Amino acid sequence: MSSSTAPMSNGKPMSKTSIVFFKELKEVLRDYRTLIMMIIIPTLFYPAMLVFPATFAKQSIARLGHTTVKVGIVGDCEPLARHLENAEHVKVIQLSASDYRDKLKSNEVDVAIMVPPEFTGVISREYTTQEDFSELKKAPVPALKLVLDTNREKVLFSMSNLYAAIAEFQEDYIKKRLKVLDVGNVWERETKVKFDDISPKQSETDNMLPQFAPYLMILMVLLATSYPAIDLITGERQRGTLALLMVAPVERRSIMYGKIIVVVLVGLLTTILGVISIAATLQFGPVKSSVVDAHPQFDFGLTAWLLVLFVMMPLVVFISSLSVFVAALTRTFQQAQGYLFPMLLVTLFLASAAQIPELADNTFLKIVPIANTTLCIKQIITRHYNWQGIAITFVSSSIAAILLARAAAGLLQREDLLLGVQLSPKKKMETGSYGRELVIFGGIVFFMLFYFGQLLSLWNVMASLVITQIFLILCPALAFLRYTRSPVWETLSFKKPSPRYVIAAVSLGFATVVISMLILTVQTKFLPYSEEYGRQMQLMVMPPGRPLWQIILVAAVMPAICEEIFFRGVLQGILRRNLPKQKLIIVIGILFGVFHLSMFRIIPTGLLGVLLAYLTLASGSIFPSMCLHFMHNAYYLWSSFYKVDLDSTLCISLALVGLVIAAVALGWKPAKAEEK
């Protein structure tokens, strides 16, 4: 290419290197997957992976400090027992000297207090003369002995409540008696507390064994299944053999399930061989004396490894299906390998949840894939497992694995993914196939809410709510609507609704607030909830010094308009062209819950999003969902402003009345008849 025909930049011909550079840069930036890996993953995913675990662990530990500690008292000391019963977060159980260790091992009590007879005598005696005081100073100070198992991290974090109660007891029953003598605070030898750790003696590194083993198992399965999945899906697509396979006289779903089964088989063989190798090394290798014999508190026997294999089976299917699912979304080996690291981070993040002490007995964690298996393996090795937990883990993981396998098989039936075909802009507009664009659009909006929304809230709460609703939610929604060239009124469902849907929306407003509070009450029994987080959220929606009408205008009216246009208007309006109704409602509900950036409120917010999506879809109009959204937020703000007890009988009764009215309104006329 001569300089006269070369592309020009600022009146000067571009060098060949520059031409190649800009050409390749354009090709790279045209790929939405590259944009995701280059922008969304580093700016949103990695910071969240760094911040969320630390925040969650901090809140969990803070919550553990408010956990009730079950204290068993061995010995007769009625004043001490009475004082501890009146203390916060302390439950007293009287034990005998013969059974307190069994109670500790069965977790019926967390700590046992051994009360010596002389301690009771000192506490019960009245000291009124100087001679009594002199005799007391010469007497040995009685010591309480606390017996506990330090392997139970949950107990260690909740011990502060017991320490505080014992300190208060000392103040009340000893120091105050000395003040009667008018000698001030001269008690130099305070009540002593000794400790007796009943856990097996171990070094600081011993706990690494049960904690590291689950990570090793999961990493082994992930690496074993990801590369076969990439080769069977992405590799065949690159080699051009996948298209030939699709025209074979076999059902396409059968072909896809066959590929998934191959990946699962590889994962199963890897898991079995890996477990056998680890077990044989520990039992017969040179490390037997330093690992197995030196740690009798851990179970490395045949039964333990068989149980590990048992709970690993559904996890292998789950991770194999996940690998196939990810491989189906990639066109090249390079893209697939680039997705491996984020997938590994997500997997290890879920596994790390099982290491948080408070979640060890959490029922909810037992149904979360990967996390439940990690917890189960750890409990098997440490001999703390139970058959109910193993059964829940196996069943829940199996269900998740089956659902993900079906999703992966369904994804592989799409010809645009199988053959790497991109639809033309005209075809996209006709079919609403804006999946890639929606992922990038949603990631950008989520990124702006995650960073700019929180930064704005530090500046001014009310102003941040206004700016967030208008410039971070409404404007991007309208811009995306213009980008897709979708018909505005039809996509946003701007049409007059039937009166019965408006009646239902108004009736459901207060009911949804009460139901959300009840869900949060139940949820706190399974998921940690920080009181400090609750106070911060209260300040976010109820800034001090603001009248109620201003708060309702900013936190109820604006979200009802802006968020509904974003979720039920743009997102639901575009996705409804190629998603079944049930899936559409669930997807919109989940996105609505996630975008509110509150893990603790994701369940009630997601359920509200499902209800709003249903109202829009059933009525064909966005206005009932706007009405319900406004009523829900307004009732919540009103109840918070006036400190209304939503758990009261009156509020629950009003919520039930609203549910009945809404049910009658929605069922008064069949939706199909109205559509016709």
C-beta of residue 613 within 8 angstroms of C-beta of residue 585: yes
| pTM exceeds 0.85 | no
What's the pLDDT score for residue 77?
73
Q: Give the pLDDT confidence score for residue 288 in this predicted structure.
A: 57
pLDDT in tens, 562-614: 999 999 999 998 888 778 889 899 999 999 988 887 767 888 999 999 999 99
Burial of 102 (0-12, 13-18, 19+ CB in 10 A): exposed
At 90 the three-state DSSP class reads strand
Q: Which amino acid is at 655?
A: A
Give 252's contacts (C-beta < 8 A, 6+ positions apart).
246, 412, 413
- Mean pLDDT, all residues of the chain: 75
> CA-to-CA distance for 284 and 291, rounded, in angstroms?
11
Q: Once rounded to an integer, what is the mean pLDDT over residues 252-275? A: 81
pLDDT digits (tens, 9 = 90+) for 500-531: 999 999 999 999 999 998 888 887 776 655 55
Residues found in the chain: 676
pLDDT: which is higher, 451 or 380: 380
Q: Write the single-letter amino acid at 599.
A: M
> Which of 63-72, 83-92, 317-326 shows the lowest mean pLDDT across its residues?
63-72
Instruction: Give the pLDDT score at 85.
Output: 76
Domain boundaries, the chain: 65-197, 205-418, 452-675
- Best CA proximity match to 494, nearest among 674, 623, 629, 628: 623
Query: Which band of pLDDT confidence, cut at 50, 70 and 90, is reported for residue 643?
Result: confident
The pLDDT of residue 598 is 73
Question: What pLDDT is stored for residue 153 in this prediction?
Answer: 61
Percent of the chain scoring above 90 in pLDDT: 15
Above 70 in pLDDT, residue 40? no
610: Cα within 13 Å, side-chain hemisphere: 12
Q: Name the more confident of 620 and 204.
A: 620
Average pLDDT estimate for 293-303: 67
Question: What pLDDT, on a 0 to 100 scale, did the predictor assign at position 1?
Answer: 41
pLDDT at 197 over 60: no
Q: Rounded CA gap, 194 and 147, in Å? A: 9
Token couple for 152:
């139970």
State which of 192-206, 426-440, 487-501, 615-629 shows the largest mean pLDDT.
Answer: 615-629
| Domain boundaries 65-197, corresponding CATH code | 3.40.190.10
Highest mean pLDDT among 325-339, 464-478, 591-605: 464-478
Of 178-187, 428-437, 462-471, the one with minimum mean pLDDT is: 178-187
pLDDT band at 561 (very low <50, low <70, confident <90, very high): very high
State yes or no: pLDDT of 671 exceeds 50. no
Q: Give the per-residue pLDDT at 233.
A: 78
Q: Tell me which of 337-351, 384-398, 427-441, 459-473 is least confident.
A: 427-441
Is residue 459 predicted with pLDDT exceeding 90?
no
- What is the mean pLDDT of the segment spanning 215-243? 77
